[in-house]
């Protein structure tokens, strides 16, 4: 019996794949070594919601690149369909799609667990955010009916990079948190001495605290 593949988990290495794209053959994740990438699947070319998504991703492409992050689309469509769809978007919407789109035979979708249950070969709207060491850091999963929020995907990439660099946590709705604005969260103390020191440091103006376990600061 053929083994059923599921989605990779957070923290897993992104699987090694050789794929056909609108920019030629690419090896994942090797061709993106040292860079983050966002791989996102869509149900099919020439569909309304997917078209709005590709335009939205393209309009933010420079912002992703500024974060050392590339975009890669994917669906179970032939490369000829991808190319024709790109041409349609440019001719009718005035937006040129500059990132590659994987033309999948179904093998990649099966490897990543992207086939939508009960909808033939259509892929779900999945998003894999992969870091510069090829670790899967975030997975978003949407139904066909709901288009994605690209600003949230962009925010997630930036937030994870800030977290990695500064060893901090990121609050809800950052950088517009209802509690702490654009501040980031200092990891909670794990011993009594550090807990006491956190409050003393807050009094000295080094950071701010609601309590020893909820301290935050502005990134300089």
- List residues with catalytic annotation: 50
Tokens representing 43 are 């149900």
Long-range contacts of 136-141 (CB under 8 A, 24+ apart): 136/8, 136/9, 136/10, 136/11, 136/12, 136/13, 136/14, 137/10, 137/11, 138/10, 139/7, 139/8, 139/10, 141/7
- Comparing CA positions, the residue from 112, 92, 94, 95 lying closest to residue 104 is 112
**Bridge-partner residues for 13, per DSSP?**
135
Q: What are the strands of the beta sheet with 36-41, ordered from one edge?
A: 24-28, 17-21, 101-103, 69-75, 36-41, 125-130, 136-142
- Comparing CA positions, the residue from 73, 21, 75, 71 lying closest to residue 44 is 75
Please tell me the distance from the alpha carbon of residue 37 to that of residue 52, in angstroms, as a whole number.
20
Please tell me the distance from the alpha carbon of residue 30 to that of residue 72, in angstroms, as a whole number.
14
Structural Rg of the chain based on CA atoms: 20
């Amino acid at each position: 019996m053929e083994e059923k593949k599921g989605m990779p988990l957070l923290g897993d290495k992104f699987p090694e794949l050789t794929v056909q794209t609108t920019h030629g053959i690419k090896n994942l994740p090797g061709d993106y070594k040292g860079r983050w990438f966002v791989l996102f699947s869509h149900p099919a070319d020439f569909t309304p919601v997917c078209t709005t998504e590709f335009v939205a991703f393209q309009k933010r492409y420079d912002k992703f690149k500024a974060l050392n992050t590339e975009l890669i689309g994917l669906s179970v469509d032939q490369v000829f369909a991808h190319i024709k769809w790109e041409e349609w978007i440019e001719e009718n919407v005035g937006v040129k799609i500059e990132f590659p789109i994987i033309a999948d035979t179904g093998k990649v979708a099966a490897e990543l667990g992207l086939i939508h249950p009960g909808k033939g070969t259509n892929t779900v709207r999945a998003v894999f955010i992969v870091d510069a060491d090829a670790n899967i850091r975030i997975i978003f999963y949407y139904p066909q009916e709901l288009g994605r929020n690209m600003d949230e995907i962009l925010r997630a990439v930036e937030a994870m990079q800030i977290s990695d660099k500064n060893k901090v946590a990121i609050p809800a709705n950052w950088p517009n948190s209802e509690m702490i604005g654009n501040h980031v969260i200092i990891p909670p103390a794990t011993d009594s001495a550090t807990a006491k020191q956190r409050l003393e440091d807050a009094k000295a103006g080094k950071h701010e605290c609601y309590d020893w376990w909820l301290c935050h600061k502005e990134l300089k």
